[in-house]
Amino acid sequence: MTPERPLPEGFTPLTLDDRDVLAPFLLASGRQSCEFAFTNLFLWSGTYRPCWRFVGSHLYLLLCGADILMFAPGGARGPKPDELLAVSDRLIRAGYSGSFDHVDLEYLKTFPDVGTRFSAERMDDRYDEYIYCVDALVGLHGKLLSKKRNLIAQFCEDYPDAALEPLTRANLPEALAVQDDWFAAQEQPVSVEAAHEAAAIRMLAEHFESLPVEGLVLRAGGRVVSFAVYSPVSPDLWTVHFEKTRYEYKGASQFITHKTAVALQGRACLINREQDLGIPGLRQAKRSYDPLFLLQNYSLIRKS
């Protein structure tokens, strides 16, 4: 994290009060990256300290805690390179790098001349985002997903009383106990990523009713054994913010992943299961679901 510094001119710290302005704008911008979900921006605000401003019809987001600058277009083409340069200059004067992250490839193709003042570089593959077809996760057809089908069938056989519930304020504490137990089981000291995730989940608990999220809770033997939390990123894509399962319940993870897709079928075509952050086990788990594609993100590094 970068040390705290003054906000650049015109930028405002992101708060829950900004939801009614920013959430619809981000949803309509068409970005597929989970980084542009209002829920993610808010839940991780304790770590990344996001702020925002509009320049013309385009939204600029600065994660002050990590010196990450992003933009969400207010039109199909996005901001012209001259506008990016002006915003970059403003950030440099405020002590930031002035470089942009999480830029999509389509923007680079639309504005190839952006390369005159910025160097376009693919972000590390730990930031690639796993995009799945909802129908594929519902059907689980084919040899590659046969193990998922078998694990779900085994879970249903082992726990015939298993039941799904919508995630609500009433059952949220039981769901978060799954997260608490998972966190307690991590090797000490816990990773930075795990600590940040725990802080984000505490934000979810505090502001659950005020966020545009949905979720599922899975019970077996009356005990909550898994939960998932998700929200829309674009009109046809939702992202899964959190999914935690008690490891001793074999097949429960595959069950709730499948049921999340079932819950979204007809409302979304795609599911973003976010990044693997270079964690080997997480990478293997995400790839085992045969993603439709990996969303590659790019940086625009300011040239001197």
pLDDT at 4 over 80: no
Q: Where in the chain is the domain with CATH 3.40.630.30?
A: 12-127, 129-274
For residue 38, the model assigns a pLDDT of 97
For the domain made up of 12-127, give the CATH fold.
Aminopeptidase (3.40.630)
Q: What average pLDDT does range 221-250 have in this prediction?
A: 96
253-296 pLDDT per residue, tens? 999 999 999 999 999 999 999 999 988 999 999 999 999 999 99
pLDDT at residue 219 in the model: 98
What's the pLDDT at 3?
59
**Residue 1 predicted with pLDDT over 60:** no
- Per residue in 67-120, pLDDT (tens digit) is 999 999 987 789 999 999 999 999 999 999 999 999 999 999 999 999 999 999
**If you average pLDDT over every residue of the chain, what do you get?**
94
Whether 183 has a pLDDT exceeding 90, the answer reads no
- Torsion angles phi and psi, residue 226, rounded to 5: -165, 155
User: What six digits make up the tokens of 198?
Assistant: 């725990």
What confidence tier does 154 reach under pLDDT thresholds 50, 70, 90?
Answer: very high
pLDDT value, residue 61 = 98
Q: What is the pLDDT of residues 7-48, one digit of tens each?
A: 898 999 999 999 999 999 999 998 999 999 999 999 999 999
Is the pLDDT at 2 greater than 70, yes or no?
no
Using CA atoms, how far apart are residues 91 and 84, in angstroms rounded to an integer? 11
> Hey, what are 70's tokens?
């992003």
Which distant-in-sequence residues (6+ apart) come within 8 Å of 7 by Cβ? Answer: 13, 51, 62, 64, 94
Exposure on the CB side of residue 245, measured as CA atoms within 13 A: 16
Rounded CA Rg of the chain: 20
Dig out the tokens for 144 from the structure: 């590659």
Q: How confident is the model at residue 132 (pLDDT cuts 50, 70, 90)?
A: very high
pLDDT per residue over 193-220, tens digit each? 888 888 999 999 999 999 999 999 999 9
Looking at the structure, give the CATH architecture of the domain made up of residues 129-274: 3-Layer(aba) Sandwich (3.40)
Model confidence, pTM: 0.94
Residue 186's pLDDT band, with cuts at 50, 70 and 90, is confident
* 45 vs 101: CA distance, rounded Å: 17
> Residues 141-154: what's their mean pLDDT?
96
Residues 6 or more apart from 20 whose CB is under 8 A from it? none
